[in-house]
Structure 1
Amino acid sequence: MKWIEPKKYLKKLELSEFPQADIIQLKYPVLLCHGYGGFSTLLSPAPMHKPCMRLRSFGIHAFAPNIVPYGTISTRAEQWVRIMGILQDKYGYEKLNVVAHSMGGLDMRFAIAKLGADESVASLTTIATPHRGTSLAELVLNSPDTIREKLAEFVDWFGESIYPTTKSDAVAAVQQLTREYVTEKFNPSILNTDGVQYFSYSAAVGKGTEQPLHPIYRLQNQLIFQNEGINDSFVTDESAKWGKHLGTLPISHLEQIEIQVNKDRKPLVENFWLELAKNLKKSGL
């Protein structure tokens, strides 16, 4: 039997003086803005609740409120501005770092450019936001009229059931996510504002990559790939790039907000949110 020296064995049990992860001290708190849709609230108190709690575990003041899940950009932007005001009044925050997922990034670009939110926003980091639209929106709008109308009725009913204070408008919102609308109407009038730092993450999984994808999203991933190229099953890699591009994530649209994450994929998601927080710190935010 091989003899193990007691000192060598005990060395493995030696306590670290500070075993917890470092606190990430940011200058400003983080507001997480969710995108289009509300079905994720069946699994979580808010679409970005889990990322919010992850940021809080880093020692960051973070908030992930709910707004109307199926509304136009201007309607949603007004609600984000109202929420920012509530947080500033309640906690005395001077400014906030906004981290916006998917359509939430368009909402906040509108709020900054048109609603005076630039006074309250230090930075905007978008995650898989369709800054040049998405062909998925066009596929939805081009579905047979009967199917589209019935689906819209159900989605609006669901949206108003979970968020009854604002009328949902699922079809109008999807129309504002098309490539034509975003590139020809939205982008020319919604310009970046001086004094706000803009960052972005894009993502790509499935077709054209070596990254796995949940089978339920395989068809739309392939259709978007045929129309535009590699994507995260909702938005393409190229469409999501805006401001300073921080990288292409190997995680899907829902994995980014910690929904439907398999155990072996969890480290990728955890590392992404850690790197996002570190970027804000490194940028003096």
Structure 2
Amino acid sequence: MTDTANTQYPILLVHGLFGFDRIGPFNYFNGIKEALQRAGASVFIASLSAAHSNETRGEQLLVQIARILQQTGARRVNLIGHSQGALTARYAAAVAPESVASVTSVSGPNHGSELADRLRLAFIPGKLPEKVAASLTTAFGTLITIISGKPQLPQHALQALNALTSEGVAAFNLKYPQGLPNTWGGMGAAKVNGVFYYSWSGIIKGSLLSESMNLLDPMHNACRLLATFFTTEYKENDGLVGRFSSHLGTVIQSDYPMDHLDTINHLAGLTRHKANPVELYVKHAQRLKKQGL
């Protein structure tokens, strides 16, 4: 164990849609918490509704932030959110900036997801296919909560989907614009209301045969298929989120050779040899420490 990443404030990892802390031997942030702890960081993982709106999840996150501050005696926390977790973290920082030292978006749909747009168009509001899909996905979110052994939290799949569309995120951004770029593909303000903002993400590159161990990862193959549904950021996305849509605050890099799940070290670490997602989190914690966070 070292102290290279012993940040001044605790790190709170925030999961995305259908996320969890741990289910049996499986962690959402696979090996990331442990690596951060070995580097000296104090790390917690949020427990939020697996499927719900950004605001609902954000309110849940605020409760957990308050609990961590009371438990540790710290004044603030560093939030690192993956996917929808980035929007959840942004909400908490906008509402309670005095309790948040930094927000880091990892593969966050900060301008919406084209895939969510496609799914929203596929389900006509009020019609049977939408109702069936909503019931099934809401039930799935409930199942994740049950088998993860966490307290029951409300689930609402349609609100989650609407919260991730370009339209839904645009409405969210009007209320909580902190850290957003003024120009498409640019960087946002590095610091707003005393909160530092960062982001990183990946894109799917090359052919399937160039994937190294990812060739054996069924989730990567699914991401590669989903990537073909993008139009605005075609060939510039990770299967669920576009490269420039992910930009927030100081953009560390948005074209790492990783799909949407590689950035949380899934499945079983079958990631490309050119990028190590766990190292990215440790290096970022070292960055936060250097910044005095």
The separation in 1 between residues aligned to 2:172 and 2:24, in whole angstroms, is 32
1:208-253: CA deviation from partner (whole Å, max 9, x where unpaired): 99973622222211112x3423011111110011111111222111
Q: Which has the larger radius of gyration?
A: 1
Contact 2:116 2:164 in 1 (8 A): yes
User: Aligned partner of 2:265: which letter?
Assistant: E
Partner of 2:197: 198
The separation in 2 between residues aligned to 1:208 and 1:237, in whole angstroms, is 18
How many pairs align? 262
Residue 181 of structure 1, aligned match among 168, 176, 182: 168
Partner of 1:143: 122
Matches within 5 A, 1:98-113: 98-113=79-94
Partner of 1:16: none
By how many angstroms is 1:207 displaced? Answer: 6.3
Contact 1:46 1:65 in 2 (8 A): no
* 1:169 correspondence with 2:148: no
Contact 1:202 1:238 in 2 (8 A): no
Partner of 1:247: 253
Matches within 5 A, 1:250-265: 250-260=257-267, 261-262=269-270, 265=273
SS in 1 for 2:61: helix
Partner of 1:277: 285
* 1:268 correspondence with 2:249: no
* 1:127 correspondence with 2:106: yes
Contact 2:4 2:286 in 1 (8 A): no
**Are residues 209 and 277 of structure 1, via their aligned partners in 2, closer, same or farther at CA, if it must alter by over 3 Å?**
farther
* 1:235 correspondence with 2:241: yes
Segments of structure 2 that go 5 or more residues without pairing to the other structure are 146-150, 179-191, 215-219
By how many angstroms is 1:100 displaced? Answer: 0.8
The separation in 2 between residues aligned to 1:139 and 1:207, in whole angstroms, is 24
The separation in 2 between residues aligned to 1:84 and 1:268, in whole angstroms, is 28
User: Which deviates further from its counterpart, 145-154 or 250-259?
Assistant: 145-154
User: Aligned partner of 2:105: which letter?
Assistant: T
Contact 2:51 2:138 in 1 (8 A): yes
Contact 2:80 2:106 in 1 (8 A): yes
Partner of 1:5: none
By how many angstroms is 1:158 displaced? Answer: 2.2
The separation in 2 between residues aligned to 1:100 and 1:60, in whole angstroms, is 16
Contact 1:30 1:99 in 2 (8 A): yes
TM-score (norm: length of structure 1)? 0.83
By how many angstroms is 1:84 displaced? Answer: 0.6
**Are residues 125 and 41 of structure 1, via their aligned partners in 2, closer, same or farther at CA, if it must alter by over 3 Å?**
same
By how many angstroms is 1:205 displaced? Answer: 1.2
Identity of matched residues, %: 28
Contact 2:2 2:38 in 1 (8 A): no
Identify which of structures 1 and 2 has the higher relative contact order when contacts are C-alpha pairs closer than 8 Å and 6+ apart: 2
SS in 2 for 1:31: strand
Matches within 5 A, 1:17-166: 23-38=4-19, 42=23, 46-48=27-29, 50-114=31-95, 117-144=96-123, 146-163=128-145, 165-166=152-153
The separation in 1 between residues aligned to 2:13 and 2:97, in whole angstroms, is 16
**Are residues 239 and 101 of structure 1, via their aligned partners in 2, closer, same or farther at CA, if it must alter by over 3 Å?**
same
1:101-150: CA deviation from partner (whole Å, max 9, x where unpaired): 11111112112223xx2111111111111111011101112225544432
Partner of 1:8: none
The separation in 1 between residues aligned to 2:42 and 2:156, in whole angstroms, is 32
**Are residues 268 and 200 of structure 1, via their aligned partners in 2, closer, same or farther at CA, if it must alter by over 3 Å?**
same
Contact 2:21 2:29 in 1 (8 A): no
RMSD: 2.6
**Are residues 40 and 255 of structure 1, via their aligned partners in 2, closer, same or farther at CA, if it must alter by over 3 Å?**
farther
The separation in 1 between residues aligned to 2:252 and 2:116, in whole angstroms, is 25
